[in-house]
């Protein structure tokens, strides 16, 4: 569930800001970005976090720049295409790759490993 307040959208645990640079971002695109981003990020993070998405258009191409503020880091990605939705999808794919890599660093991959030999003193 997302709630709009003052141009920002608040999901269950996150603050997503969607802005247009030199253009107006329509409600349909804003809703698509907010719902998709909150769904994917809440899958990986239980804590609250901020995300900023900027949509711009130059000539016939749309550019989507996004940042996600996660504990200890700021992840950034961008995508460019002739369609705003396609540009967002490209940027989101890049951001999710970074999120997976970030979460992999935090995961203890050796937690179930049993030592092969215990030396007693």
Radius of gyration of the chain, Cα coordinates, nearest whole angstrom:
18
Structural domains of the chain, ranges and CATH numbers in brackets: 3-101 (3.30.160.100)
The per-residue pLDDT for range 21-64, each reduced to its tens digit, is 989 999 999 999 988 888 888 777 766 678 999 999 998 999 99
Give the per-residue pLDDT at 9. Answer: 47
In this prediction, residue 103 carries a pLDDT of: 81
Query: Which residues, other chains included, contact 81 with Cβ-Cβ below 8 Å and sequence gap of 6+?
Result: 61, 62, 87, 90
Q: Measure the CA dihedral 84/85/88/92, to 10°.
A: -170
Say what the pLDDT of residue 88 is: 95
Q: Tell me the pLDDT band of 70, cut-offs 50, 70 and 90.
A: confident
């Amino acid at each position: 569930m997302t709630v709009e307040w003052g141009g920002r959208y608040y999901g269950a645990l996150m603050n997503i800001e969607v802005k247009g640079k030199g253009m107006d971002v329509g409600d349909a695109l804003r809703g698509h970005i907010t719902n998709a981003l909150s769904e994917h990020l809440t899958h990986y993070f239980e804590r609250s976090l901020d995300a900023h998405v900027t949509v711009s258009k130059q000539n016939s191409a749309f550019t989507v720049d996004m940042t996600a503020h996660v504990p200890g880091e700021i992840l950034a990605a961008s995508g460019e295409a002739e369609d705003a939705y396609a540009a967002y999808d490209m940027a989101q794919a890049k951001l999710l790759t970074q999120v997976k890599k970030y979460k992999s660093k935090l995961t203890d991959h050796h937690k179930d490993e049993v030592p092969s030999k215990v030396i007693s003193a």
